[in-house]
Each structure stands twice: as C-alpha cells, then as structure tokens.
Amino acid sequence: MGTSSHFSLRRRTMALGGLAAVIGAPIWAQTRAPVKVRFQCDWRFEAGTTPYVVALKKGYFAEEGLDVTLNVGAGASATVTRMASGNFDMGTGDLNSLAEFAGNNGVVPAKAVMLMYQNTPAAVFSLKKTGIAKPADLRGRTLAAPAGDGARRIFPLFAAANGLNPVTDVNWTAVDPAMRETILSRGQVEVITGYLASGMLSLQRLGVAASDVHVMKYAEYGVALPGNAVIASQNFLNENPQAVAGFLRALTRALKESVADRAAAVAVLKSHEPLIDTRIEALRLDLILDQEIGTPAVRRDGVGDIDIPQFQKGIDSLAKFLAFKSTPDAKSLVDTRFLPPQAQRMVFPA
C-alpha cells in the first residue's frame, strides 16, 4: 500500500467524522489488504505476553485487518532502542526508558498509546540466606541484570530513595536474559533486578521456593514511576491510525478474556510456545493480572489511560537522577486517542 493512498483515505475519513471515524468500527479492514504490524515484545513468550498471543492465535488481530508478527524481546528498555531503529511498528516498552531515550537523543522514537502497568513492576531479588533484607544491605554487593533491563535502568531512583549511591555503593554485571534467575539460584550472584512476575516465577521454575526469596519492589520503596506501555512509532501512527486503534481493540478484548478464563489463556500461550511450563505460567499470569495490571485504579477506571501530570513528575525525577541531556515533556511521549472506549477497557469484573 502506497503512502499516498494512506493519506488519501485519512483525509476522506476525517472529513466524514473526524478521529472517531478513524478509530471506530473496522469497516476499512473488510475492503483493504491486511496491514502488517511488526510488534516487539518486551520478553520471551511467557505469561506477560499472553494477551498479545491470545489476540493473535484467536484471530482478533486478523478481524481488525491486521497481519501481526510478534517478536521475542530482551527487556522493556531494549524495546525502546529497537523501536528507534525503525525495524518495528509497535511494541511493549518501558515508559521510563522511553523518556530517557527522548531526553538524551532529542527525538521520540515512539509514543505510548496504552499503559499496561500503572506502577513499575521493577524489583530487587535475593535469596534470604544471603541476609539481604533492606536496601542498605545492598552496599558492596554486585547486582546482575541484562543491559537492557528496565529495572536496571531505573535503579538509581531506587538507590536515591533509600540512601544509596547508585555508582559507588553497588557494582553491576551484565547477564543474558535467559540466565539471570539461573545464576541467582546457583549462588553465582547474590542480587538480581527484574520485573516481579518474571523474576519470581522464573526462580520457582528453577526449584527455588517462594519463601526463600526476598523481594524489594521499587514501588514500595519510594519509586513512583509507571511501567510498561504499548508504544507505536510516529510513522506508524501517522500512516495507520486505524491499525493502531484496531490493535488496541483486539488486545483489550484478549486481555479481558485472559482475566475471565486464565487457564484457557495459558493453553493458548502453550499452543504458541510449547516449551513453557503450564503450571509456572499460570502462576505468573495470576501475579501479572492481579498485582501488576489489576491495580485498584484500573479496576475502577479501566486499563490503558495515562496520568500525564504523574508521568511528568516521574520524568522530572528520572532526568535529575539519570542526568538527562534535556527533560522531555510527558505529553510529547503519549498519544492515547486510539484507546477503546472506557466501557470496553473495564477488563476486570466489578
């Protein structure tokens, strides 16, 4: 499909009813070839990607006129840099990493179109036998995480909020995403950072009892930041607004189904990635839905919207502690016009 045809369609559609017509029912999808969407996931095909896999496997993306390709990720922070390469149209990225990229590069590689985690799910993990029970116990320790790990990138805020110097009090070692929990379970490192559901359940899959793990959630230790959002490149937003709206409708539909029938959602995930441990991913999905996505605010107001003033406060903190070259305006990083109506975004039962 040529660029001129996209803009021609947009002009006619806007003339017939403005943005509501652009993002409304997918009549356009019935008469046009499917729009290809190269989607960058933030991680492997585990419970966190379940809504995307459900939307793909059950044909919800296809019903919206979309030909979606889901690509395995290497961290929510890495998604942002991959989006900047121009090789992906949409993805799941860390909002804080998006702000950092914009602040240091003077460009916005993508805009957040739907917030998935209102609070950062970042956390510090250790085994209780090491005696690490509070932030001060991290002094002199070596922390391990992938270079693109969102929790690693924003650790300076956790440190600052808890009286630690993020440069001199701790050391870091980079590890492959697939080995992070393994080396902790083997005692090769004492501390790792990561997202709550990923770290906790991966350790359990390796045979580590939940009662043997100590977790410090950033959100409970003074870090008021959002987490992952669905992001879309500016070019894709400009050229395919209907596709963005359709993607979010399909995703919201799949998320609601995943909440209602979790076992069925995990079964769909298993059909897409046969190597997963069904028991572990069922536990992980419960944790993600009940703790990371299903906050009281989301249960009350619906999933997806972004509190711009609160996000700006987080950006200001990030800019200070991570020494951004400039402080981006939160509004420049967000475009939630394509969200489904609030009634559709009430994915948790009343």
- Based on the domain organization, do 230 and 339 belong to the same domain? yes
Q: Taking the CA of residue 155 as centre, how many other CA atoms within 13 Å lie in the half-sphere pointing to its CB?
A: 28
Task: State the Cα angle at 91 between 193 and 4, rounded to 5°.
Answer: 160
Domain closes at, from 220, 254, 272: 220
Straight-line distance from the first to the last Cα atom of the chain, in angstroms, rounded to the nearest whole number: 43
Contact 273, 266 (CB under 8 A): no
Structure token digits, residue 179? 């080995």
Residue 264 scores a pLDDT above 70? yes
Domain closes at, from 220, 236, 256: 220
Residue 111 lies in a domain: yes
- Based on the domain organization, do 177 and 236 belong to the same domain? no
pLDDT in tens, 109-160: 999 999 999 999 999 999 999 999 999 999 999 999 988 787 898 899 999 9
pLDDT in tens, 86-103: 999 999 999 999 999 999
Which pLDDT score is estimated for 6?
43
**Which residue, 183, 167, 164, is CA-closest to 175?**
183
Q: Which domain holds residue 277?
A: 3-119+226-345
Residue 10 scores a pLDDT above 50? no
- List the beta strands (DSSP E) in 150-262: 171-174, 191-195, 213-217, 228-232
Which pLDDT score is estimated for 29?
53
Residue 270 scores a pLDDT above 90? yes
Contact 22, 240 (CB under 8 A): no
Residue 160 lies in a domain: yes
Q: Comparing 12-21, 43-52, 308-317, which segment has the lowest mean pLDDT?
A: 12-21
Structure token digits, residue 46? 């585990």
Confidence of residue 193 (pLDDT cuts 50, 70, 90): very high
Domain closes at, from 168, 188, 220: 220
Residue 350 lies in a domain: no
Which pLDDT score is estimated for 1?
45
Contact 336, 229 (CB under 8 A): no
C-alpha–C-alpha distance, residues 202 and 205, integer Å: 5
Residue of higher predicted confidence among 211 and 148:
211
Average pLDDT taken over every residue of the chain: 90
Residue of higher predicted confidence among 273 and 177:
273
Residue 162 scores a pLDDT above 70? yes
- Based on the domain organization, do 48 and 12 belong to the same domain? yes
Q: Helix or strand or coil: residue 142?
A: strand
C-alpha–C-alpha distance, residues 93 and 113, integer Å: 11
Q: Helix or strand or coil: residue 216?
A: strand
Residue 9 scores a pLDDT above 60? no
pLDDT in tens, 321-346: 889 999 999 999 999 999 999 999 99
Residue 296 lies in a domain: yes
User: Residue 129 belongs to a domain with what CATH number?
Assistant: 3.40.190.10
Greatest Cα pair distance, the chain, in angstroms, is 66
Which pLDDT score is estimated for 30?
58
C-alpha–C-alpha distance, residues 233 and 84, integer Å: 8
- Based on the domain organization, do 168 and 289 belong to the same domain? no
Mean pLDDT of 178-189: 95
Nearby residues of 348 by Cβ (< 8 Å), 6 or more positions away: 259, 294, 298, 299
- Based on the domain organization, do 199 and 73 belong to the same domain? no
Contact 179, 199 (CB under 8 A): no
**What pTM value is reported for the model?**
0.84
Q: Considering its fold, how many domains does the chain have in total?
A: 2
- Based on the domain organization, do 105 and 232 belong to the same domain? yes
